[in-house]
Amino acid sequence: MPKRRPFLALLAGALSTSFLLAGCLGNPPSRTSRYAATSTPINAQAASKLETKTISLGFVPILESAPLVIGVEKGFFAKHGLQVTASKQASWSTARDNVVLGSEGGGIDGGQWQLPMPQMISEGTLTNGKKVPMVILAMLMSQGNGIAAANSVKDANLSADLRSSSPGFFAKFEDREGRKFRAAYSFPKANQDMWIRYWLAANGVNPDKDVELLTVPAPETLQGMRNGTMEAFSTGDPWPSRIAKQDIGYLAALTAQIWKAHPEEYLAIRSDWVDKHPKATVALLKGLIESQMWLDKPENKAEAAEILSSRKWYNVPRELLEQTLKGQYKLGAKGTTQTDSSMGPLYWNSERGVISYPYKSLTLWFLIESLRWKFYPGTIDTIAEAKALNDRVTREDLWRQAAKEVGVPSKDIPTTSSRGKEIFFDGTIYDPENPQAYLNSLKIKK
Ligand code: CA
């Protein structure tokens, strides 16, 4: 049984992750690297109007954090008087522990998050009951995530539309292997877990019964897929592209195929920091907006890839990042190369309008999806609770103020909290005015 040993190693990894999930609060932040651009001087005049000149933000080295990195490196934050220190987080649980500490305790003031982490940290649900109220201020990126499948299931030809590409595959897999198909993500009950669940359930596969879902730290997944200890990984770029590039597996589905211009990761900061520093928060958003606009321009993608590839940021080959930023993917078991920037990561523009704006209708979806899978019983058990929590945590006014001050045309500044109805690849409609109808329409749920 050559496969036994790697699986035990994988279990050990999963155990250490759940141990981290269970606690470790109050420990000094570990394996965190801090960076601030030294080349760009802070605009002293702008800084003199702010309550503070510094903020410490966490990031994870995936493309969702690019607006923070570019904002630091290209001087967009400095231009508005703010010195942003970006700290690389070893994992999502490290980020969570660091935001509980706050920068005054040697941690971070906020940063990049999968949802609904900020909502659940606000409620104490992820933090052993310790409530750390947070504010969601902007979406960092849309799309740019995917589901990678291992070469061991290449014959299955997994795709976005499993009903046509791979009918009955998961039952056949279980019959043949004597165990369920295993799929991983790096943090449970948030974006990546939701994408793989949505994809499976829309294809008639029950994620709680027909497959086994695991939490595995991102750096362990390449080895895990190579060893055959897992067959799929739901993650952010550049991981799916790395898996395809290194011929460990293939890209089965892009999240852009599942939901065009979907909400992905967000900027969220501790409420106490925002309350104490409202002007600095607006300055931060001004820099972020300019950074996101810069990132979406085709002529800047090569430079963005160069910056992000460096050891201190992502430490990933430049070519891989450039391809991904341009929406160039090797898609499917056959590895067909497709270049379509509208299917790649989006930072500013989309067919649904501005990406960065923190629409409450979109941040609410993560809480509705949490109800679907009964992720957080005791914290949100009803739509009314989900809406109330969403209203407490997501804040749109500071984004609007920042956009106005930085010269975003008024036609690009949303005036409502709803992006309107959302349509998924299987025809399901999420109407934020009626989340119950969405929940009712889903055939597979918990
Ligand atoms: Ca992601």
Distance 193 CA to ligand 1 centre (A): 10
Distance 114 CA to ligand 1 centre (A): 6
For 352-364, how does the pLDDT look when each residue is reduced to its tens digit (9 = 90+)? 999 999 999 999 9
Task: Report, as an integer, the average pLDDT of 147-159.
Answer: 96
Distance 274 CA to ligand 1 centre (A): 24
Give pLDDT, residue 31: 57
What are all long-range contacts of 383-392, with beta carbons under 8 Å and residues at least 24 apart?
383/435, 383/436, 383/439, 386/435, 389/119, 389/122, 389/123, 390/119, 390/360, 390/363, 390/364, 391/360, 392/122, 392/133
Give pLDDT, residue 406: 98
Q: How far apart are CA 60 and CA 296, in angstroms?
A: 20
Distance 150 CA to ligand 1 centre (A): 19
Structure letter (DSSP) for residue 78: H
Joined tokens for residue 250: 């293939």
Mapped onto helix, strand or coil, the DSSP state of residue 135 is strand
Distance 46 CA to ligand 1 centre (A): 33
Give pLDDT, residue 168: 95
For 51-92, how does the pLDDT look when each residue is reduced to its tens digit (9 = 90+)? 999 999 999 999 999 999 999 999 999 999 999 999 999 999
Q: What's the chain's average pLDDT?
A: 91
Give pLDDT, residue 240: 83
| Contact by Cβ (8 Å): 347, 296 | yes
The neighbouring-strand residues paired with 429 are: 423
Crossing angle of the two packed helices 66-73 and 301-309, in degrees rounded to 10: 90
Give pLDDT, residue 217: 80
Distance 407 CA to ligand 1 centre (A): 29
Distance 265 CA to ligand 1 centre (A): 6
Distance 247 CA to ligand 1 centre (A): 22
Joined tokens for residue 103: 């920068």
Distance 259 CA to ligand 1 centre (A): 14
Ion ligand 1 neighbours, Cβ < 5 Å: 145, 191, 236
Q: How far apart are CA 157 and CA 164, in angstroms?
A: 10
Distance 289 CA to ligand 1 centre (A): 19
Query: What predicted TM-score, i.e. pTM, was given to this entire model?
Result: 0.92
Give pLDDT, residue 239: 86
Distance 192 CA to ligand 1 centre (A): 6
Distance 185 CA to ligand 1 centre (A): 10
Q: Which residues contact 101 (CB under 8 A, 6 or more apart)?
A: 26, 29, 107, 108
Task: Report, as an integer, the average pLDDT of 190-217.
Answer: 96
Of the listed ranges 92-96, 226-230, 361-365, 437-441, the one predicted with least confidence:
226-230
Q: Which CATH superfamily hosts domain 145-258+328-343?
A: Periplasmic binding protein-like II (3.40.190.10)
Distance 255 CA to ligand 1 centre (A): 10
Q: How far apart are CA 432 and CA 365, in angstroms?
A: 8
| Contact by Cβ (8 Å): 148, 251 | yes
Distance 285 CA to ligand 1 centre (A): 20
Joined tokens for residue 346: 């989006």
Top pLDDT among 256 and 14 is at: 256
Give pLDDT, residue 276: 98
Q: Name the band, by pLDDT with cuts 50, 70 and 90, for residue 228.
A: confident
Q: How far apart are CA 216 and CA 224, in angstroms?
A: 9
Distance 160 CA to ligand 1 centre (A): 17
Of the listed ranges 5-19, 120-134, 162-176, 326-340, the one predicted with least confidence:
5-19
Residue 403 has, within 13 A of its CA and on its CB side, a CA count of: 23
| Contact by Cβ (8 Å): 387, 270 | no
Q: Name the band, by pLDDT with cuts 50, 70 and 90, for residue 37.
A: low
How many other C-beta atoms lie within 10 A of the C-beta of residue 297?
A: 13
Distance 215 CA to ligand 1 centre (A): 14
Domain ranges of the chain: 145-258+328-343
Q: Name the band, by pLDDT with cuts 50, 70 and 90, for residue 219.
A: confident
Joined tokens for residue 140: 């960092």
Q: Write b or e for each residue in 276-285: b if 16 or more Cβ atoms lie within 10 A of its Cβ, otherwise e.
A: ebebbbbbbb
Distance 141 CA to ligand 1 centre (A): 9
- Of 172, 188, 153, 26, the closest CA to residue 97 belongs to 26
Q: How far apart are CA 328 and CA 239, in angstroms?
A: 14
pLDDT exceeds cutoff 90 at 399: yes
Distance 236 CA to ligand 1 centre (A): 4
pLDDT exceeds cutoff 50 at 416: yes
pLDDT exceeds cutoff 60 at 277: yes
Distance 25 CA to ligand 1 centre (A): 24
Task: Report, as an integer, the average pLDDT of 251-265.
Answer: 97
Distance 44 CA to ligand 1 centre (A): 35
Measured between alpha carbons, how far is residue 138 from residues 151, 250, 391 in Å? 37, 31, 14
For 16-27, how does the pLDDT look when each residue is reduced to its tens digit (9 = 90+)? 333 333 333 333
Joined tokens for residue 87: 């700290």
First to last CA, the chain: 35
| Contact by Cβ (8 Å): 418, 361 | yes
Sheet containing strand 266-270, strands side by side: 33-35, 83-88, 54-59, 110-113, 266-270, 134-139
Residue 272 has, within 13 A of its CA and on its CB side, a CA count of: 12
Give pLDDT, residue 382: 98
Looking at this protein, which amino acid is placed at residue 230? M
Distance 145 CA to ligand 1 centre (A): 6
Give pLDDT, residue 348: 98
Distance 343 CA to ligand 1 centre (A): 15
Distance 214 CA to ligand 1 centre (A): 16
Distance 241 CA to ligand 1 centre (A): 14
